Amino acid sequence: MACSASLRRTRFAPSPTGWLHLGHAYAALVAAGRADPGQFLLRIEDIDRARCRTDYEQAIFDDLEWLGLKWPRPVLRQSNRMDSYETALNQLISLGLCYPCCCTRGDIRAALSAPQEGAPMIGPDGPVYPGTCRARPMAAAGSGDVIRLNMARALDHLGDLPDFTETGPTHAGHHRLHPDWLRRQAGDVVLARRGFGTSYHLAVVVDDAAQGITDVTRGEDLFEATFVHVLLQAALELPTPSYHHHSLIRDSEGKRLAKRDDARALRSLRAQGATPADIRRLIGL
């Protein structure tokens, strides 16, 4: 019997905030293909309750089944995992790596436009936070605050920085985390959003470990976020999977597809009579 511990496990982790389009079909099929003969999991990333809808979630199941994909049930839903995210957040807090931040987007914009700041650095989460609240203790946290990672402290805490393996077409190789890049380009990322109890970065790291994901397969727009994820894995003493960031499917003008682009939604193509084989052809698989 094959040893299941050595089998690959990948996942497709959509957020039910719109209809799946050709780009999602590509991501799901590439992930499932890379899992073979291991296991392909579906995870519903529904922490943003205001934007997630049950009809979008049902459409994810319908579209992926129609494409011929199979995955174990029940699927992991992030909205059911808040206790696990809180435990991880508390672990980082108890290491002294977090602080509460009460800055609004407007405050951050104003701080970044101050003449002495120069051009703001743009990282995986947009403009890098200027650190206004960095000296606030966790004891001062108010219910409307977000919780940020103190990147400089996290780097000091870890000392030797980990590396990860990437097998995707654009960035294949071994990547070591660089303190300068993390400080300047990622900065004090948000770990818990106002009202969410978690952020994308924290939830994805906790869930990939909980699900025993060995190969994270996802779009190359998330490549830079991987440096933050690998740092969080090290701080939380979680294993680092290997990564495969695939190219993005673009429209005829070279723009990446968006969920609001209904014309390329799988359900619209299906309603017009497309078959799963047509979809594979359209995305070059």
Q: Which CB, 15 or 214, lies closer to ligand GLU?
A: 15
Nearest-approach distance from CB 44 to ligand GLU, in angstroms: 9
One of 9, 10, 13, 186 touching ligand GLU (CB under 6 A): 13
Q: Cα–Cα distance between 124 and 105 in angstroms, integer?
A: 16
Stretch that binds ligand GLU, among 10-18, 103-111, 263-271, 276-284 (CB under 6 A): 10-18
- Residue 41 sits in the site that holds ligand GLU (CB under 6 A): no
Stretch that binds ligand GLU, among 13-21, 89-97, 142-150, 275-283 (CB under 6 A): 13-21
What are the start-end ranges of the H helices in the chain?
22-35, 54-67, 82-94, 105-112, 151-158, 179-181, 200-210, 225-235, 266-271, 276-282
Q: Which CB, 184 or 256, lies closer to ligand GLU?
A: 256
Among candidate residues 227, 222, 256, the one with its CA nearest the CA of residue 164: 227
What are the start-end ranges of the H helices in 3-48?
22-35
- Residue 204 sits in the site that holds ligand GLU (CB under 6 A): yes
Are the CB atoms for 177 and 56 separated by under 8 Å?
no
Among candidate residues 177, 172, 174, 228, the one with its CA nearest the CA of residue 205: 228
Stretch that binds ligand GLU, among 8-16, 109-117, 156-164, 180-188 (CB under 6 A): 8-16
- Residue 45 sits in the site that holds ligand GLU (CB under 6 A): yes
Residue whose entry in the numeric block shows the structure tokens 């609001």? 260
CA geometry: angle at 118 spanning 126 and 147, to 5°? 40
Q: Which CB, 72 or 144, lies closer to ligand GLU?
A: 72
- Residue 274 sits in the site that holds ligand GLU (CB under 6 A): no
Site string for ligand GLU, 209-248 (x = CB under 6 A): ---------x---x--------------------------
Q: Which CB, 141 or 264, lies closer to ligand GLU?
A: 264
Nearest-approach distance from CB 78 to ligand GLU, in angstroms: 9
Q: Cα–Cα distance between 22 and 39 in angstroms, integer?
A: 22
Are the CB atoms for 48 and 198 separated by under 8 Å?
no
**Residues lying near ligand GLU in the complex (CB under 6 A):** 13-15, 45, 204, 218, 222
